């Protein structure tokens, strides 16, 4: 996990997605993490992800707060069928008012919120994934049980949920010896 922001108003968070195979002679995720600090706009971001092949997968959540009124979610992974190419799935998280202005060909779109855990959700048909951690599916299932997020209280309930003692969405040191939640957003 990594997160950051730059002087151009781009704020982002990254999570690892773990394909079963790693591509050789390609960039590790950490190099892309650093490059995000210089991204000026959405086109720069799309070009970075398209032009620089990655060795293994990750997910970016972010927004250009001075430019756009929506959030972005990318799933990225290596394409082993073509040299120097990535699989990329781009998702726009928009509000109800923006729905009328969206074009069908602008990519995958969800309304109002997106909950994404550490596994491929849109590229799962093209990327062979490692067996996901037990916590990934358990937390995803719990998020679905909590339902749609419509209020700040709903969001806080999801982000702070400790219902499942083994794999809580918000993990504390007291209950989990090996892992704990560093931050939520």
For residue 77, give the H/E element and its range.
Answer: strand 71-78
- Average model confidence (pLDDT) for the chain? 84
Q: Residue 53 above 80 pLDDT? A: yes
Check residue 185 and give its pLDDT.
58
Check residue 52 and give its pLDDT.
94
pLDDT digits (tens, 9 = 90+) for 101-147: 776 666 778 888 788 777 788 888 887 777 766 777 788 888 889 88
Same domain, yes or no: 137 and 126: no
Same domain, yes or no: 71 and 112: yes
Check residue 183 and give its pLDDT.
67
Domain boundary among 115, 130, 145: 130
Same domain, yes or no: 95 and 138: no
Same domain, yes or no: 145 and 80: no
Same domain, yes or no: 164 and 82: no
For residue 109, give the H/E element and its range.
Answer: strand 108-111
Same domain, yes or no: 54 and 82: yes
Same domain, yes or no: 120 and 156: no
Q: Residue 44 above 80 pLDDT? A: yes
Total tally of structural domains belonging to the chain: 2
Burial class, 10, CB count within 10 angstroms (exposed 0-12 / middle 13-18 / buried 19+): buried
Could you tell me the residue range of the domain that residue 119 belongs to? Answer: 2-130
Check residue 126 and give its pLDDT.
83
Same domain, yes or no: 29 and 105: yes
Same domain, yes or no: 125 and 142: no
Say which DSSP state 157 is in. H
Same domain, yes or no: 78 and 166: no
Query: Mean pLDDT lowest for which of 126-130, 159-163, 176-180?
Result: 176-180
Same domain, yes or no: 145 and 93: no
Check residue 138 and give its pLDDT.
83
Same domain, yes or no: 22 and 80: yes
């Amino acid at each position: 996990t990594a997160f950051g922001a730059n002087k151009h108003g781009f704020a982002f968070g990254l999570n690892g997605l773990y394909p079963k195979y790693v591509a050789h002679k390609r960039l590790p995720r950490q190099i892309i993490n650093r490059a995000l600090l210089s991204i000026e706009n959405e086109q720069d971001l799309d070009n970075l992800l398209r032009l620089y092949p990655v060795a293994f997968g990750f997910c970016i959540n972010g927004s250009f707060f001075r430019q756009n009124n929506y959030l972005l979610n990318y799933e990225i992974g290596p394409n082993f069928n073509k040299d120097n190419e990535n699989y990329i799935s781009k998702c726009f998280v928009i509000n109800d008012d923006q729905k009328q202005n969206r074009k069908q060909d602008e990519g995958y779109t969800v309304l109002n919120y997106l909950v994404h855990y550490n596994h491929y959700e849109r590229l799962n048909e093209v990327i062979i994934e490692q067996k996901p951690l037990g916590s990934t599916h358990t937390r995803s299932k719990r998020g679905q049980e909590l339902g749609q997020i419509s209020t700040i209280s709903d969001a806080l309930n999801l982000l702070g949920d400790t219902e499942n003692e083994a794999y809580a969405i918000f993990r504390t040191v007291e209950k989990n010896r090996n892992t704990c939640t560093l931050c939520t957003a």
